[in-house]
Amino acid sequence: MEAPPTGSDRAEQASEALGDRLDEIEAAVTSGGADLTALGFWRIVGTVKRDRALIVAHADQIGKIDAAAFRAFVGRWRLPTALGTSILVLGALVGLAAAVAGALVDDPVWAGILVIAAGAIWTVAFHSPAHHLVGWLVGIRFTDYFIGGPPPPRPGIKSDYASYLRADPKSRAWMHASGAIATKLAPFLALAFVPGSEAPWWAVAALVVLGVVQVVTDVLFSVRSGDWKKFRRERAVARAGLTPGGARFHD
């Protein structure tokens, strides 16, 4: 009589079944079928990210599949990470120059325009570099810049999904939150340059409205499809805890 399978045997069998399915998905993506949701890829990822052993076994292949699908989707409309972040940091410095100029200029109209411009520039320029910085600090690496995200479209940064899976779930959550937080702070940072300047009341009102609109945008879109949805998803993984091995996978 054969001995009943042990927990270790079942875990190994589950991992092998999952690996076989990933092989099929990789073949489909390579041949042009890049709809990862329809292929069941993200359901597999949801299983893997809750199990340490599965992360070790399959993170690299998951990262490879994710990268291939992403590049098939965006085509040539992408930039290397270092170049994209450098451009946005330069943009942030342009925003700083505008804010300083707005604080120094004597004309109220120009003072108002410049401080509003600073807040608007920072709203775009802070987002992805914040993801990049926090991700780098927690071990997540990135591969490309692209244009995307929930409305309004903005520069996005693509993670290397293998390193993303290997990062602690709480760290992944805060990487997602960092960009959203940086974007929301941008208009209010610009407000700090208003006291002592000639900027009129309408400049203050415009920056406050910009900040409020961004919060409303997060409530309407980001909690459903953007950074805050991903933050909540990874926080749920963190609360559930990672199993040491043996997560079940059913195709």
Q: What is the mean pLDDT of the chain?
A: 89
Residue 12: the pLDDT is 81
CA dihedral of 238, 244, 250, 251, whole degrees rounded to 10:
80
- Max Cα–Cα distance, the chain, nearest Å: 92
Where b means 16+ CB within 10 Å and e means fewer, 44-69 reads bbebbbbbbbbbebbbebbbbbbbeb
Answer yes or no: is pLDDT of 246 > 50.
no
Confidence band, pLDDT 50/70/90 cuts, at residue 11: confident
Confidence band, pLDDT 50/70/90 cuts, at residue 251: very low
Distance CA 194, CA 199 (A): 6
- The model's pLDDT over 59-115, given as tens digits with 9 standing for 90+, comes to 999 999 999 999 988 888 899 999 999 999 999 999 999 999 999 999 999 999 999
Enumerate the β-bridge partners of residue 156: 146
Answer yes or no: is pLDDT of 236 > 50.
yes
Q: Give which of 59, 50, 43 is closest to 246, Cα–Cα.
A: 50
In angstroms, what CA-CA distances link 247 with 8, 92, 135, 144? 11, 45, 27, 32
- The model's pLDDT over 192-207, given as tens digits with 9 standing for 90+, comes to 999 989 999 999 999 9
Q: Where are the domains of the chain?
A: 7-74, 79-240
Are 138 and 153 within 8 A, CB to CB? no
Are 128 and 100 within 8 A, CB to CB? no
User: Helix crossing, 127-137 with 81-104: angle to 10°?
Assistant: 130
Are 145 and 156 within 8 A, CB to CB? yes
- Dihedral sign, Cα of residue 104, residue 108, residue 110, residue 113: positive
DSSP three-state, residue 97: helix
pTM recorded for the entire structure = 0.88
